[in-house]
Amino acid sequence: MQWEYKTVKLGAKGWLGGDLDVTEFTTMLNDLVRDRWELVSAFDTNQGHGSTRDVVAVFKRPLEK
């Protein structure tokens, strides 16, 4: 089976980062699932001193031929 992939980056907010809008993230996940995307991985990127700058989510779905 062949797959196509989608990468989404969400910015963290707050003085030192690390605050993710969970409602926005949940809405995005539900929208993508409706389009048959499956979450493969999610991770944060560090801006320094342990603060999160972004959250990156990777999705996949079967490639339509």
Domain ranges of the chain: 3-62
pTM of the predicted structure, to 2 decimals: 0.78
pLDDT per position as a tens digit, 2-58: 999 999 998 777 665 567 788 988 999 999 999 999 999 998 887 666 666 788 999
- Residue-level length of the chain: 65
The secondary structure element, H or E, covering residue 33 is helix 22-34
Specify the pLDDT at position 52. 64
Q: d(Cα 29, Cα 43) in Å, to the nearest integer?
A: 14
